Structure formats: C-alpha cells, structure tokens
Amino acid sequence: MTQGELIADAPQRRFNPLKGEWVLVSPHRSKRPWQGRTETQEDTERPAYDPQCYLCAGNARSSGATNPNYSGPFVFDNDFPALLSDTQEGKTRHPLFRAENVQGTARVMCYSERHDLTLPELSQTDIRAVVDVWAEQIVELGAYWHWVAVFENKGELMGCSQPHPHGQIWASNFIPNEVATEDARQKEWLESNGRVLLVDYAAEEAKRGDRTVVENDDWIVVVPWWATWPFETLMLPRRHVLRLPDLTEAERTSLAEILKRLTIAYDNLFLTEFPYTMGWHGAPTKAGDHGHWQLHAHFYPPLLRSATVRKFMVGFEMLAEAQRDLTPESAAARLRDLPGVHYKSGSGG
C-alpha cells in the first residue's frame, strides 16, 4: 500500500510533542449508539451562602478552624494535606523497591465568598482577582519549593466533594512526572530547533484556526492536535512567558477574559456546570535555566456526548495508548460556535 496524504476521517495516530506520546483517533466511531453508563446530572440550585459549608465565609471548617468573613479569593492551608513540610528525609536502597520521603505543602483557594458562582459565572473583574492570587501564591511558595501546582477539580465527576467553587495549590520539593516529561520534551525541542516548542505551536495553531476555540490579543485556546479527552483544551499565551507571575497587567486582564469565555463555552455545550480538571504548567521554581519552558494551562473534561455520558479511559487506553472518537477539529468547532452568554444568565455576567 502506498503512502499519501493523511485521510482525515479514517483511523489515525497523532503525536503529542509535549509528552512524546501517540494518541489513537477513530473518527468513524463517533456515530456508534450508546447503551453504557449515564451519570446523574449534577446541577442543583445553590444559595449564595450555605451555613453548612466548610468553605463559606465565617463558617467553621472540619478541622475546627473558622474562616474569616472574606470577600473575593481566600487561601488557607489544607486541613488534610497530601504533602507535609516537616517530613524527615529518608529513602529505600533496593533498586526494585525505590522510594524516598518528600516534603511540600498544600493549600485551598476559594474563588470568592459566593457559594453559588463557579468560575464562568464570576465577573471578569473577580476572575482577574483569582489570577492575581494564583500569581502571588506561586511567588510565595516558589521561594521555598521546586514546583508549584495550581489546579481545580470541578464537579463530582472529577472527585470534588465540596460544592463551594475552589481550587488547590500544592508545592513540592520534587518535580512531578507530568512536569518532568514536559520539561524534557520542551528542552529537547529548543536544543533541536532553537525555538520554544509551545510558542511555535501557538503561532501555528493561530494560522490554521480549525482547532481554535477562543482567542484574544494575548491568548489562544485550542483543542490540541493530540487531545485525549473529547473536549480537552490547551490555553497558551502568544508571547514567551515562563510563569503566571511574569504576566503583564494587560495579559492578566486578558487572561481573565479568555478564562470566562472558555468556561462559559464549556457550560453552554451541554447546558450544565461542565466538570473538568484544570491546571497551570509553568517553569519549575527550582533554580536553573528554564528558558525552554512556556506557560500553559490544561483543561481535561470527561464529558463525551451529553451532560450524563462521559468518556472512560479503560481497556485499550489503559493497556496500550489513549484513544478518542471525536476529532479535535470537530470538538473545537462545537465549542467555538456556542453562544458567548452563559446559559444561566441573560446578561453574561
């Protein structure tokens, strides 16, 4: 069989240069009937303040600590942290049973005092305040730790047990697997091409346009060429930026705008509070040359066909490699064509 141009609607593998992995794409399977598991739609009316909520302003948390009567973003040390700052150093010696003790800290960040407003329902001004606190936390924790993770698990489908809109900030004395992989691949690209991988990628996606979801002068959001999750997106600054604290005032404001537009599109897709895991990847705060890095955010949502049908990573995905049915181009088009006003509001916030 002779090799020609890629057949867009036929089974194919796409390469992820950021991770050095392949993804199997099977566009012909998107029309198959679904008789599998369906989820309960999560949306319920929540009050602006819930006296039983551990995260609402002025309430007692499960640890016994009391939240201040805060307004806007509120950060506190996690009452049940996954990392501890005072762990003693130690390690195993056997090559088949390697382990080492690690140190770090974990914090919780409430986006606002409002129990009922998720990120897309906040005003752009309030989202800008969230961006500023993210940056402040990276500066503060990055002075002591090698890596600072800023992320959000939104919705019960993503394991979130607390309905008050919030994210998390973990800092560690080690570089986690996903970050180490991205570090190596970006460094390799710079050494081979003399340019920054994700700066090149953002520019090329901007020219092509078929995977772009939303964009403005400073930012572009795409369903990446190598997307694994059905409506996965990648958020990128257009210029070379290492970390969130390095953004200019204008870029922070435009980031708030692009975050609102993207998350409104997500919610409007299936008329639900769209679940996802979102996280920022920037250069490690560990000392060293990190010029090969480019700031970016990953959004990994599980929903596939509706608010109640999700994508499962099982079988071939667990035992071989990631696989998707919906092409990134069609996913981007569906998100791109949605109204810019949140489905719960006639004003758009």
Predicted pLDDT of residue 30: 59
Angle subtended at Cα 232 by Cα 213 and Cα 21, rounded to the nearest 5 degrees:
120
For residues 115 and 74, give the distance between their C-alpha atoms in angstroms, rounded to a whole number. Answer: 13
Query: In the structure, what pLDDT confidence band is assigned to residue 156 with cuts at 50, 70 and 90?
Result: confident
Predicted pLDDT of residue 348: 41
On whether residue 322 sits in a domain, the answer given is yes
Predicted pLDDT of residue 31: 56
Query: In the structure, what pLDDT confidence band is assigned to residue 14 with cuts at 50, 70 and 90?
Result: very high
**Active-site annotation holds for 290:** no
Task: Retrieve residue 248's tokens.
Answer: 């200019």
Q: How many domains does the chain have?
A: 1
Q: Which of 233, 240, 248 is nearest to 203 (CA)?
A: 240
On whether residue 347 sits in a domain, the answer given is no
Query: In the structure, what pLDDT confidence band is assigned to residue 41 with cuts at 50, 70 and 90?
Result: low
Q: Which of 79, 46, 50, 45 is nearest to 62 (CA)?
A: 79
What's the chain's Rg over C-alpha atoms? 21
Whether pLDDT at 347 is above 80: no
Whether pLDDT at 35 is above 60: no
Average pLDDT over residues 123-144: 98
Predicted pLDDT of residue 307: 86
On whether residue 254 sits in a domain, the answer given is yes
On whether residue 142 sits in a domain, the answer given is no
For residues 2 and 171, give the distance between their C-alpha atoms in angstroms, rounded to a whole number. Answer: 51
Q: For the segment 197-240, what is each residue's pLDDT rounded down to a tens digit?
A: 999 999 999 999 999 999 999 999 999 999 999 999 999 999 99
Q: Domain containing 260: what range?
A: 192-336
Predicted pLDDT of residue 27: 87
On whether residue 198 sits in a domain, the answer given is yes
On whether residue 268 sits in a domain, the answer given is yes
Predicted pLDDT of residue 34: 41
pTM metric for this prediction: 0.93
The domain that holds 252 is classified in CATH as 3.30.428.10
On whether residue 317 sits in a domain, the answer given is yes
Average pLDDT over residues 284-305: 95
Average pLDDT over residues 267-286: 96
Greatest CA span in the chain, whole angstroms? 69
Query: In the structure, what pLDDT confidence band is assigned to residue 279 with cuts at 50, 70 and 90?
Result: very high
For the chain, report the end-to-end CA distance as a whole number of angstroms. 56
Chain-wide mean pLDDT for the chain? 93
Query: In the structure, what pLDDT confidence band is assigned to residue 32 with cuts at 50, 70 and 90?
Result: low
On whether residue 323 sits in a domain, the answer given is yes
- Active-site residue identified among 115, 146, 164, 166: 166
